[in-house]
Structure 1
Amino acid sequence: MTVNLDEKIERLRHFIYEKGKDGVVIAFSGGVDSSTLTALCKEILGEKAVAVTAVSPTYPQEEIEEAVKVARDIGIRHIVVETNELSDENFVRNPEDRCYYCKKDLFICLKNVAKNLGFKAVFEGTNFSDLSGHRPGFRAVKEMEDVYSPWAENNFTKEEIRMIARRMGLSVSDKPPLACLASRIPFGEQITAERLIRVGKAEQIIKRLTGTRQLRVRDHNGLARIEVGKNERKLFFDAEIMDKIVIELKKLGFKYVTMDLEGYRTGSMLLTLEDT
């Protein structure tokens, strides 16, 4: 039997109420998944829902600023906490399941926030579409008590979430997917604060020069491999812009600056595992 979107939303609303009625903190990045979930929780649970953004060296500064703005627009109480994945040697080693260690630390932090608020549950924004990809972080969700993934557990796809966001008039409804800065570094290469800062600054520079929205600067041991949305590749086909990008990224310490002609795609760093 086919379930239409309105029926799925009703089931989701019931899920949110049942799991969150004793208070819930939402892992809030400011992306479309967490923002739409947060808006629904605010609507259903009122003051029993609090958005929490974890700030760390892996989180781009401009995303922090946008998360604050989106939370304000939603009208939900918003708490910003500091985490530091770089203190976890398992994360720093950058194994294939790096995201598991990051998510586990995050949920421990969020559960502590919930406890201090007198709340019980933690929600996070993994969606059903995500589960078909490389998602070791989701293992941490399944391991921890009172941590839930409302989208994934109710079979909501990314496109369905965007549809709900548009219905709710959220500014992030068409925002490109987010990923932490650690995802720019090939598995097996050590993650350092310096490398995270470098790729973060590189992406800020390129966005400023080109106006692109979907962007990753992959740091292959000093070689910058630029991935950009397929429909935005044409923004780079200007000699002056390319020269400026090269100059600015070399100032950051990159030896080579290249553009990946395939454009942005999820999971491209998994190809580096084939060489190990």
Structure 2
Amino acid sequence: MDHDLASRATSHIAHQLAGVGRLGVAFSGGVDSSVLLALAARALGADRVVAILGVSPSLAADERAAAHDVARQVGVPLAEVETHEGARAAYRANGPDRCFHCKDELFTRIDAAVAVAHGLDAIAYGENADDVRRTDRPGARAAAEHRVLTPLATAGLTKADVRAVARAFGLASADKPAAPCLASRIPHFSTVSPEKLSQVERAEAALRRLGFADLRVRHHGPVARLELPVDDLVRAAGDPLRSEVRAAVLAAGFRFVALDLAGIQSGAFTRDAS
């Protein structure tokens, strides 16, 4: 069934990209952009597709390395573009529209440099059909303003469909947990700074080394609020890991560590502020 879905998805994407000579895919290494990259490579040919990775303090080093791995697996070249969303006052202010300013910076940099350097006719990104129904995604407005294509959503592919296609293609990101940018860990209206982003990155990397694959470290000043899948909460709070979890987070510069009993809450800050 997954292979049938992958075949239909490839056909849909090929139809949408008809007439595109060279395509750039705004790429994070997550499952959505990975599947879009793989489908585009099959539809157009890998030599006509470029993965574009925005690099800034909001991108964790582990995520950057994983993105390169997936692009190599797909067989598509990856171009990095340095973004400077931190120079934008509206981004640092961290209102509910923060993602708009981040994505606007990314697509502006792509339009100004990468598209010309690589002779790209169009840019696409990995919005899926489930994303379209959400109201807490201000980055989608930036994509629309820059006329960025949304082939997955247009093809009606849901998140479950995207993961099924990823498994059919054998992509390393098929079962990768969602990994929003590091700035998403900072409550709205609390200033985004490189120091806070670094604290979150160091704490999350240390916790992954302890075996927690899916997590968020929310930055509440001196307090780190850990969101984990419910099944991991007991493990994190019990011996022998409890002291290691605490030490790992304190070493990142926090003074206190709290476990959120609600578990993982994707997009909680944006929904609460909407």
Q: TM-score, normalised by structure 2?
A: 0.92
Contact 2:249–2:257 at 8 Å: present in 1 too? yes
Alignment of 1:265-276 (within 5 A): 265-270=265-270, 273=273
- Give distance in 1, aligned partners of 2:70 and 2:129: 23
Q: 1:67 matched to which residue of 2?
A: 67
Q: CA deviation at 1:200?
A: 0.4
Q: 2:110 matched to which residue of 1?
A: 110
> SS at the partner of 2:240?
helix
1:29 equivalent to 2:31? Answer no
- Give distance in 1, aligned partners of 2:67 and 2:9: 27
Q: 1:81 matched to which residue of 2?
A: 81
- Give distance in 1, aligned partners of 2:253 and 2:171: 38
Amino acid at match of 1:117: H
Contact 2:10–2:43 at 8 Å: present in 1 too? no
Higher relative contact order at CA 8 Å, sep ≥6: structure 1 or structure 2?
A: 2
Unaligned runs of 5+ in 1: none
Contact 1:187–1:272 at 8 Å: present in 2 too? no
Q: CA deviation at 1:138?
A: 0.2
Encode CA deviations 1:155-179: one digit per residue, 9 max, x unaligned. Answer: 2100001111111111111111120
Encode CA deviations 1:200-245: one digit per residue, 9 max, x unaligned. Answer: 0000111112x11111000012211100123333431423311122
- Give distance in 1, aligned partners of 2:271 and 2:99: 17
> SS at the partner of 1:148?
coil
Unaligned runs of 5+ in 2: none
> SS at the partner of 2:176?
coil
> SS at the partner of 1:17?
coil
> SS at the partner of 2:107?
helix
- Give distance in 2, aligned partners of 1:23 and 1:123: 11
- Give distance in 2, aligned partners of 1:191 and 1:226: 18
Q: CA deviation at 1:16?
A: 2.7
Q: CA deviation at 1:9?
A: 4.5
Encode CA deviations 1:73-112: one digit per residue, 9 max, x unaligned. Answer: 1111111221121111110000111000100111111223
Q: TM-score, normalised by structure 1?
A: 0.91
Q: CA deviation at 1:25?
A: 0.7
> SS at the partner of 2:233?
helix
Q: 2:146 matched to which residue of 1?
A: 144
Q: CA deviation at 1:252?
A: 2.5
Amino acid at match of 2:266: T
Q: 1:157 matched to which residue of 2?
A: 158
Contact 1:51–1:79 at 8 Å: present in 2 too? yes
Contact 1:111–1:121 at 8 Å: present in 2 too? no
Q: 2:231 matched to which residue of 1?
A: 231
Once the two structures are aligned, what percentage of the paired residues are identical? 36
Alignment of 1:1-276 (within 5 A): 5=5, 7=8, 9-18=10-19, 21-46=20-45, 47-112=47-112, 113-133=114-134, 134-145=136-147, 147-209=148-210, 211-270=211-270, 273=273
- Give distance in 1, aligned partners of 2:209 and 2:22: 40
- Give distance in 2, aligned partners of 1:17 and 1:212: 42
> SS at the partner of 1:76?
coil
**Structure 1's 75 and 9: CA in aligned 2 closer, same or farther, altered over 3 A?**
closer
- Give distance in 1, aligned partners of 2:22 and 2:84: 26
- Give distance in 2, aligned partners of 1:254 and 1:239: 21
The number of residue pairs the alignment matches comes to 267
Encode CA deviations 1:97-132: one digit per residue, 9 max, x unaligned. Answer: 100010011111122311222211001111111223
Amino acid at match of 1:178: A
Q: CA deviation at 1:40?
A: 1.2
**Structure 1's 65 and 8: CA in aligned 2 closer, same or farther, altered over 3 A?**
closer
> SS at the partner of 1:122?
strand
Q: CA deviation at 1:11?
A: 2.2
- Give distance in 1, aligned partners of 2:53 and 2:8: 30
- Give distance in 1, aligned partners of 2:132 and 2:111: 23
